[in-house]
Amino acid sequence: MLKVFIIATNLFAMSVSAYALPENKIDSGKVYAQEKPIILLGRGVTEGQQAPDFKVVNDAFVPVKLSDFQGKAIVISVVPSLDTGICSLQTKYFNEQVAKTFSNIEMLTISADLPFAQKRFCKQENIDKVVTLSDSVWRNFGENYGLYIKDMGLLSRAVFILNKDHKIVYKQLVENLATEPDYSQVVVKLKTL
């Protein structure tokens, strides 16, 4: 019963906080769902800037911040929901292909899924090289990176590469939510780190 209350409280808090977020002007008009533009909420980021810190939780509801990965280059794969086919493919690709080739780079997948769902997904799909993190509690990642989809409570699909100093050296905001990222561009950039 306590878990149900916590989940309901979090969902209510998410819906209230979504209306307080500003529109992401940096990425306005760049993302579509079923050929219709979607509105992204939050501040938005650009290549070349210092990556904003964020606070998310792991599958045990333990807070995790970007600053916890000091001195490590990072790939942040952002998906709307791990329970969908394209998001699953994206996460598996980074787990099976990219993490194997670039073992010195930290691989994170962030979604608005609850940690319980993320944990179940990772177990079912043998995701063991990518760290899945949830933005469902504070919505801090979506706000700081401008990725919350208005009226959906989900994150927009994107890939970021941060160097060891956590400067954003690559940003791919996937234009069509129903498609996978261009992995070849990600791999090319990773080879330069």
Active site (catalytic) residues: 87
**Tokens, residue 94:** 């980074």
- 21-25, long-range: CB within 8 Å, 24+ apart, which pairs? 21/139, 21/142, 21/143, 21/148, 23/150, 24/146, 24/147
**Tokens, residue 177:** 């939510």
How far apart are alpha carbons 99 and 76 in whole angstroms? 12
DSSP β-ladder status, 36-37 and 32-33:
antiparallel
- Using alpha carbons only, how large is the chain's radius of gyration in Å? 16
Amino acid found at 184:
S
How far apart are alpha carbons 71 and 3 in whole angstroms? 36
The CA-to-CA distance between both ends of the chain, in Å, stands at: 48
